[in-house]
Amino acid sequence: MKNVTCIEDLRQLARRKVPRAFFDYAEAGSYSEQTLHANRADLERVKLRQRVLVDVSARDTSTTILGEKVPMPLALGPVGMTGLEYGNGEIHACRAAHKAGIPFTLSTLSICSIEDVATTVDRPFWFQLYVMKDRGFVRSLIERASAVSCSALVLTVDLQVLGQRHIDIKNGLSVPPSLKIRNLANMAIKPRWVFSVLSGKRWTFGNLDGHVKGMEGVKSLAQWVGSQFDETLSWNDVDWIRSIWPGKLIIKGILDVEDAKLATRTGATALVVSNHGGRQLDGAASSISVLPKVADAVGSEIEVMFDGGIRTGQDVLRALALGARSCLIGRAYIFGLGAGGEAGVARAIDIIRKELDVSMALTGVKSVKEIGRHILLQQSSRGSSPLVNGRCIRRQVRGRL
Ligand SMILES: Cc1cc2nc3c(=O)[nH]c(=O)nc-3n(C[C@H](O)[C@H](O)[C@H](O)COP(=O)(O)O)c2cc1C
């Protein structure tokens, strides 16, 4: 990975090393992928304001997430089936996150189980919960997370029904999975991947395997998962979860101001402005376009986190400037994992940290708490103007004249 200088390099490496079906699974969005692309396009439209001759010699990217001190405002978000991008992928990613001093989130649909990860790392991680119809199973998952001292529960609320990813169906990564011959042949020519996955702890959903009565093997577990997403899920269920999990709660998948206000009433510690990385409602707004409205509405009552499209430290800076306290990444670290296991994830985190640090300097800010909308330019058809308190200065001045 000597020549890796950016997340795109890791993506290219992962594309070569990970079998096509699993690389596509990580990269794809739902339906025509409008929201997936909007996440990136809208982030790129947020222009940073270059400032000069500011003494930025004493810079600090550290901050807190959920009250814990972290060296940068970043966490690894939950990604299902991470262990199929690289053998024991969840353990590698968790180790890299912890070495970098940032949180790691284990998905309900991980390959390594809660216990697999807990026994191989020495610090608590976050656990992400999908609420299944089988509430007894949900309760047992929360209890298992609690038993290994997970330090936060990330409740994902934007997946009551599954958005369709066309490419997964074409590749046979559907429910139940039935990989096509060409995919199996493609795996055979990725020897490092085969070795890492075959020497991994598991090849199936670790949190489910042996915990769901009568279900064994990846096919029947996948079928069970497919039948278990609960369309009746409502805010009342959040109260129920709160009664079982008194610890820190993060509600992930908020894309609307009204929902953000409802989330504050649950007593959750944080919410994540997220559209599931463009994998659920296609045609939904990009995460970055709704972030300022959500942050303005509820940012003083609940910690606002952000994800969707982050590939650079500049993107983290943009999100912070628009009101996020911290960011989650998904694909950026999954590409690192596919490219080189733990070292690849570590590289992804380090790339983003360095880019954030340099971009803070070039926008004239020395600490995370100094980041605000004043470091952004608002784009209009007539060019760019600095933003002050979220409003365009040029427009304010014109209004006054
Ligand atoms: C391959 C993949 C699997 C995912 N699995 C989950 C999951 O199991 N639970 C969840 O809450 N979010 C899941 N997500 C969404 C991520 O947590 C996150 O919201 C998203 O990846 C952010 O966008 P980004 O990939 O552009 O950073 C998944 C995302 C990807 C790419």
pLDDT digits (tens, 9 = 90+) for 254-312: 999 999 999 999 999 999 999 999 999 999 999 999 999 999 999 999 999 999 999 99
For the entire predicted model, the pTM comes to 0.94
Q: What are the tokens at 378?
A: 């608002």
In Å, the largest CA–CA distance within the chain is 74
CA 343-348-350 angle, 5° bins: 90
In testing the pocket of ligand 1, which one of 33, 279, 280 has its CB within 8 Å of the most ligand atoms? 279
Give distance in angstroms: CA of 362 to centre of ligand 1. 30
Q: Is the pLDDT of residue 381 over 60?
A: no
CA distance 102 to 381: 40
Q: Please give the backbone phi and psi of residue 155, each rounded to the nearest 5 degrees, phi first.
A: -95, 115
Q: Which of 8, 79, 233 to mutate to test the pocket of ligand 1 (most atoms within 8 A of CB)?
A: 79
Specify the residue with its C-alpha closest to ligand 1, atom 14: 79
Q: Tell me which of 37, 98, 211, 276 is the catalytic residue.
A: 276
Nearest CA to ligand 1 atom 29: 79
List helix spans (H) across 172-323.
Answer: 181-188, 191-198, 217-228, 235-244, 257-264, 287-298, 313-321
Beta carbons within 10 angstroms of residue 49's beta carbon: 18
Are residues 373 and 380 in contact, defined by beta-carbon separation less than 8 angstroms?
no
257 is written with which tokens? 């101001």
362-381: string of b/e by CB count within 10 Å (b at 16+)? bbbbbebeebbbbbbbbeee
Please check the confidence at residue 38 and state whether its pLDDT lies above 70.
yes
In this predicted structure, what is the pLDDT of residue 380? 55
- Could you tell me which of 231, 202, 34 has the C-alpha nearest to residue 131? 231
pLDDT at 10: 98
Q: Which two tokens stand for residue 90?
A: 């969840």
37 is catalytic: no
Q: Tokens standing for 71?
A: 């060296």
The Å distance, Cα 76 to ligand 1 centre, comes to 10
User: pLDDT band at residue 382, thresholds of 50, 70 and 90?
Assistant: low
Q: Are strands 326-329 and 303-306 parallel, antiparallel or unpaired?
A: parallel
Q: In angstroms, what CA-CA distances link 269 with 11, 36, 44, 248, 253?
A: 33, 27, 29, 6, 14
Question: What confidence score (pLDDT) does residue 400 get?
Answer: 36
Q: How many A from CA of 327 to the centre of ligand 1?
A: 13
Q: Given a cut of 90, is residue 361 above it in pLDDT? A: yes
Q: What is the pLDDT of residues 152-169, one digit of tens each?
A: 999 999 999 999 999 999
C-alpha separations of 296 from 257, 292, 396 in Å: 9, 6, 19
List, edge to edge, every strand of the sheet that includes 326-329.
Answer: 74-76, 326-329, 303-306, 270-273, 249-254, 152-156, 126-129, 105-106
